[in-house]
Amino acid sequence: MLTALKVRLYPNKEQQIALAKNFGCCRFVWNYYLNKTNTQYQETGKGLSYYDMAKDLTQLKKHENFLWLKEASSSALQQSLKNLEAALKNFFEHRAGFPKFKSKHRKQSLRYPAGCSIKNNGIQLPKLGVVKAVISKKLGSEIKSVTVSKDSTDKYFAAILWEVEDTLTIEDGKISGIDLGLNSLVTVFDGETTYKVDPIKPTRKYAKRLRRRQQSLSRKKLGSNNRKKQVKKVAKVHQKIANTRLDFLHKLSRKLVDENQVIVVEDICVKGVARTKLAKSVLDAGFGMLVNFLASKLKRVGGTLVEVDKFFPSTKLCNYCKFKNDSLTLKDREWTCPKCGTHHDRDSNATKNIREEGIRILSTNTDGQSELQACGEDLRLVSNSTKKRSSVKQESPVIASA
């Protein structure tokens, strides 16, 4: 199994200049061959393959106007072509948008696919030597690749990829259902107890600082050095917001994975919810990021993540008598079941239903889809299949009681 570690780099002045040249060469190669394959596709209906681009790059480096390309690592330039070919393939297979031209005014990155090692509290990189780094743990095997990046605040990072043995450390654990929300980021039910974790809302926390720095930026003259300095100050606030959210979600996901063997979550369409008036709060919470962290951490320790179909009525369904309350609205945080009279906390009831549905999915070995879908639309299944099937009924496999 492959795993990665992101570390902070501290290159000296000479290494910073060398990295700037490598960033520029890789960016030029990407843009040059993206433009070239676009032109050829318009003329002939067929683009360039990696073999065609790599063969042409060898001749391009010998041209007198492009001799400066030899200053960069040849493996990094070839990796840039491989990344371009992969991006084009993803576009034509409808997995991503069309690749864009790279800009020198944004985040810079390049990948070294070989020739990297850990030496003297640093990372040995091709044509750069040993770059000082802060490595938090020991790497037990050969490095597969290193991706070096420079962010908008002029900080350097390296993402180290290496292979580790598959270790299944979870033998006995709990099965917990998790309901994601805005008032409480997660509501967790493990079969016995229920607890909630509130969101930290980093965007709102640093909104005042961000507003002041953006106001100062708007007063700076275009193209001036003061404006460039202020741009970095604004970027640092955005970085602080992102790092605060990232740190919180990593710690929360680690706690949940350490306590549970199976975690059941609801499949939320974040893009769809982000089109509503709750967009700022939804994106600030980082639902998708949290689920991704849970999935990756569970995979490393042999746990299981189960995603319940988004059309399963976890909120409206009474956990005791299974009555579905269609009159429930978003503002109703507590409700009483009209059939059995049980008083429910909205989030606690939802997470109990999610946990039960996850256990049902595990027992029947299904792929997380409800047996009955919302009527009328063709819905893409959450599985490896790309086929679609027509839904036949509203909401879920639960039959509403009169």
Residue from 339, 299, 294, 291 nearest 319 by CA: 339
- Tell me if 117 sits within 8 A of 124, measured CB to CB: yes
> What is the dihedral sign for C-alpha 312, 315, 316, 318?
positive
- The helix/strand/coil state of 209 is helix
Q: How far apart are the first and last CA of the chain?
A: 51
284 catalytic residue (yes or no): no
Report the 10 Å Cβ neighbour count for 63.
Answer: 9
* Among 190, 307, 309, 347, the one annotated catalytic: 347
* Among 85, 179, 307, 309, the one annotated catalytic: 179
Report the C-alpha gap between 380 and 387 in whole angstroms.
Answer: 7
- Phi, psi of 314, rounded to the nearest 5 degrees: -65, -35
Alpha helices by DSSP H, listed for 260-339, are 270-273, 279-285, 287-301
179 catalytic residue (yes or no): yes
* Among 85, 190, 266, 395, the one annotated catalytic: 266
Q: What letter would DSSP give residue 395?
A: S
Annotated active-site positions, please? 179, 266, 347
